[in-house]
Every structure is written in C-alpha cells, then in structure tokens.
Amino acid sequence: MLTNKTIKFSNCLKLTAVSGILAAVSLPAQAEQWRGWNIHPPSYPNSVALESFSEEVAEKTEGRIEPKVYHNGVLGAQPDAIEQTRSGALDFANFNMGPMGPIVPATNILSLPFIFNSTEDMYRIMDGEIGGRFAEALAEKNLVALSWFGSGARSLYNTDHPVKTPDDVDGLKFRVMNNDLYVQMIDELGGNATPMAYSEVYQSLKTGVIDGAENNYPSYESSGHYEVAKYYSLTEHLVLPECLCVAKSTWDEMSEEDQGIVRKAAENAAQEQRKLWEERAQKSRELVLESGVEINEVDDKAAFQEKMKPIYDDFVEENPQLETLVKDIQAAQE
Ligand code: GTR
C-alpha cells in the first residue's frame, strides 16, 4: 500500500525528471514582439525600408526581437503615435519631423520654411554633428532617433488654380500638419490653414472643406490627393527629415549587442529608403502628370521666402536658446 508520503515522493521524482528534460532541450528565451507604426501604404519607400529593418533585426538577433510594422496609419494618427511611442506603448516608428515640433521644440527648426537648400544638404547636416543635436533633443522626450529618412520637398497643391506668386494663395484654405508653425506659414502667405490628420485630407478636398494641402510627390500621389487637387505648384518650401525612432523604454531594455544590431539595421534602412525615394518621386511625378495634373514652377521663390521671413524672426524671439542651432544650419550651407 502506498502511503501519502510515498505518493508525494514519487511525484517529486517525476517533476525532477521533467525539469531535467526541459533543461536539456534549453528552450530559447521568449522573443520580444515589437509593434511599429507607419503612416504609408506597404509599397511606399519608407514602408519597404521599415520591412527591411524588421527583417534584419529579426535575423541578426536570431529571433530575440521580432519587429512587426503596421502600415497605412492603422495604429492611429501621427501625433497620437508619437505619444504612444514616447510612452512605450509602441516600440518603433517612422516619424516626420513636422508634427514633432509641438513635442520636441528644437525640431521646429527643421520646419522653418526654406531652412534647407536641398535634400542633399539636409542629409549631410542630419547625418553629422547637427543631426546628433536633434537626436539628443528627441531622446530627452523618450524617442531614440537611429537614422534619418528623406521626404523630398513639400509643395502647395489645390483644386482651383496654379500658385505662381504669393498672391495666388490669397483666400485659399490649406490643410497643414499638426503644428502652429504651419498655420503661421499659410497665414503669412494670405491663405487660411486648417491643421488636420493626413487620413482626413482626401475626403476634405473632395467635399470642399479645404481647397488644398502641401506635400511631396510620393505622398501627393499615394494618398490620391492628386485626383482631386489638380494644381501642383513647386514652392518646395519644406525639406523635412524623418526619423526611424525606437521607444526609449524599448531601447533601454536591450543588451548592448542588440542595440548595435538595431542601430545598424536602422542605418541600412535609411540608405535603402533614400535610394527608393528618388525612384518613387520620379514615378509619382510621371503618374500625376499622366492623370492630367498641372505642375507649375513658381515665378520667384524669393517672394515666398520673403513672405515667410516673420516666421524665423518670431521663432528666434520665442526660442532664443535655439538661435545658435538655426545659425549653425544656415552656416553649414553657405
Ligand atoms: C508625408 C509624411 C507623413 C505625414 C504626411 C502628412 O509626407 O511622410 O509622415 O507627415 O506627409 O502630411 O501628414
């Protein structure tokens, strides 16, 4: 007859045997599942680069980290996604520096119209010491910027007529990204600005809630805005960098080895994005032209710059601590 004592003893033996087997199999540590935010459709250059980033991270960490990108802005509008990444509810994202301004004031410098002369200047400056200063400002707000993507130049487009001089903006209603600086930008030109989520622009153009918006060729095309707003005017007023950012809490949880892997993958993704960008910008331009869009040069860019000058003056007056950074960016392009 088995006593209570012997039953317990035999169970104990079984347990010891099972844990012995488990230890021998040496189960892999549980993979970290990362959620990544992306506003664009899967074929967009940024999306392709984010997928490459995810694959490289999963492969090089041997599955310790498994990033997954959610495309098309399904995880929310950009300002909300920035907050979610800051809090660690999202692990990584590709953010435009435009809507970053209200959260990280230094990044507003990047939204000063005509601050960069060209995409090449922007890349050179953001990849260097000055870019590091922006990364520091982002880190203070819990965002680890690992590399910089390009987004070409943004230009005005509308449903009514070509914009050739600032006077042509008079009275037009433009959607802008969520940042007061852009409201002032349109005001200075004599138009009316409405901050609005990217996902709402198409419908608002269609129903006449707004007359126009501003963006680069690939976004103008992939969002379908060109189907409604047929006049694309090459003001090229903004050359905005975008980041591949990781949540600070996610970053801090990683080993140094994995941080190195993730950083390298982000740098590789930026190189790929920049290359794909050039091809896509060209394609998008052709596509919108074929569909009957009228693209026009502006007569005199300096006239637009002149109108927007008060934005600089006000910005420096309100943020005297950022004046040096503005000046350093200007000096780096002389
Ligand atoms: C795109 C940019 C997006 C978003 C969008 C917008 O060019 O890549 O991140 O900022 O513009 O206008 O909201």
**One domain, residues 141 and 175:** no
Based on the domain organization, do 51 and 146 belong to the same domain? yes
**18-29 pLDDT, tens digit each:** 444 444 455 556
Q: Are residues 168 and 51 in the same domain?
A: no
User: What's the gap in Å between 149 CA and the centre of ligand 1?
Assistant: 12
253 and 199 in a common domain: no
Kindly state whether residues 85 and 199 are assigned to the same domain: no
Residue 8 domain flag: no
- What are the pLDDT digits (tens) for 85-113? 999 999 999 999 999 999 999 999 999 99
Who contacts 333 (Cβ-Cβ below 8 Å, separation ≥6)?
116, 117, 121, 125
228 and 187 in one domain?
Answer: yes
Residues 171, 257 within the same domain: no
CA 216 to ligand 1: nearest atom:
7
Ligand 1 neighbourhood includes 39 CB (under 6 angstroms): yes
Residue 334 lies in a domain: no
Structural domain contains residue 172: yes
Phi, psi for residue 74 in degrees, rounded to 5? -65, -20
Nearest to 99 by CA among 181, 221, 11: 181
CATH number, domain with residue 174: 3.40.190.170
78 touches ligand 1 (CB under 6 Å)? yes
27 part of a folded domain: no
Structural domain boundaries, residue 197: 153-239+292-324
Ligand 1 atom nearest the C-alpha of 214 is 12
For 172-224, the pLDDT digits (tens) are 999 999 999 999 999 999 999 999 999 999 999 999 999 999 999 999 999 99
Query: What pLDDT was estimated at residue 27?
Result: 52
Query: How buried is residue 177: exposed, middle or buried, by Cβ count under 10 Å (0-12/13-18/19+)?
Result: buried
Ligand 1 centroid distance, CA of 127 (Å): 21
Q: Residue 332 to residues 154, 155, 243: CA-CA distances in angstroms?
A: 22, 24, 21
Report yes or no on whether pTM surpasses 0.85.
yes
DSSP bridge pairs for 296: 233
Which pLDDT does position 250 carry in this prediction? 98
Q: CA 325, CA 207: separation in Å to the nearest integer?
A: 42
Burial of 85 (0-12, 13-18, 19+ CB in 10 A): buried
Please list the ranges in the chain whose pLDDT falls under 70: 1-29
Q: Residues 6 or more apart from 322 whose CB is under 8 A from it?
A: 105, 106, 108, 109, 315, 316
